[in-house]
Amino acid sequence: MLNLEEHLRQQGFRRIVGVDEAGRGPLAGPVVAAAVQILPVSFRTEIRDSKVLSPRKREEAYEEILSTCLVGIGQASAAEIDELNILQATFLAMRRALEALPEQPDFCLIDGSQPIPRLPWPQKAVVKGDQLSLSIAAASIVAKVERDRIMDHYHELYPIYNFGKNKGYPTKEHRAAIQQAGPSPIHRRSFRCAGL
């Protein structure tokens, strides 16, 4: 999974950063992005696409990534998603993650099919990047764990929606709670759903 990074190193790039997001599909909460520059370490934990790791393995990998890599985290709120649309809000969260890095990157690997508009650094969009790039896979883990923790916090504030379990995704139970109680302040009003 380091072939993309190695190819870029051969071209002279040194600060190569993977970028991924979590939370484009939910009805509530922010979209969260992470940017990760892997330093020359070997990982003890499994670093793969966050979607194929168990919650316990994600947490273990998250802790190791934060302690061994350079990491930036950014998010765009539900209000920003409603104002900009989910794609532009995702780009905003990604730019914020890159700007939060302790060192500026000199090349960015972006998960997905579209590059980030107006990015001041060279970049490459990589379809299924979380399966092809270790840097992007690490970013996917950080973004997922960060967003899950945010939604666990919102579960304490708005327990009727059971964000601790559904993380804001449109489950049958979540939709029923919206119909019963109406949307919360963190629901995305621009998303098509009963009650939104």
Looking at residue 58, which CATH number applies to its domain? Answer: 3.30.420.10
In the block, which residue shows the tokens 């999974």? 1
Cβ neighbour number for residue 103 with a 10 Å cutoff: 11
Write the DSSP assignment of 14-71 as a string of letters. Answer: --EEEEEEE-SS-SBS-EEEEEEE--S---SS--S-GGGS-HHHHHHHHHHHHHHSEE
Strands 16-22 and 70-76: unpaired
Q: Per-residue pLDDT averaged across 152-170, rounded?
A: 97
Residue 13 inside a domain? The answer is: yes
Residue 40: band (very low, low, confident or very high) from pLDDT cuts 50, 70, 90? confident
Taking alpha carbons only, the member of 73, 71, 80, 99 closest to residue 29 is 80
Cβ neighbour number for residue 55 with a 10 Å cutoff: 11
Q: pLDDT per residue over 61-83, tens digit each?
A: 999 999 999 999 999 999 999 99
Q: pLDDT per residue over 165-185, tens digit each?
A: 999 999 999 999 999 999 999
Contact 83, 100 (CB under 8 A): no
Write the DSSP assignment of 113-172 as a string of letters. Answer: SSPPTT-SS-EEEETTHHHH-HHHHHHHHHHHHHHHHHHHHHHHH-GGG-HHHHTT---H
Cα separation of 120 and 165, whole Å?
38
Domain count, the chain: 1
Residue 29 inside a domain? The answer is: yes
Residue 192 inside a domain? The answer is: no
Query: Which structure tokens are listed for 14?
Result: 């040194």
Q: Per the confidence metrics, is the pTM higher than 0.85?
A: yes
Residue 139 inside a domain? The answer is: yes
- On the question of pLDDT at 156 being above 60, the answer is yes
Contact 146, 97 (CB under 8 A): no
Residue 95 inside a domain? The answer is: yes
Contact 143, 122 (CB under 8 A): no
Residue 61 inside a domain? The answer is: yes
Structural domain boundaries, residue 86:
3-147
Residue 162 inside a domain? The answer is: no
Question: Percentage of the chain surpassing pLDDT 70?
Answer: 98
Residue 137: band (very low, low, confident or very high) from pLDDT cuts 50, 70, 90? very high
- On the question of pLDDT at 194 being above 80, the answer is no
Residue 128 inside a domain? The answer is: yes
What is the per-residue pLDDT for 1?
Answer: 72
What is the per-residue pLDDT for 2?
Answer: 80
Q: What's the CA angle centered on 106, arms 102 and 110, to 5 degrees?
A: 90
39-43, 91-95, 104-108, 191-195: the lowest-pLDDT one? 191-195
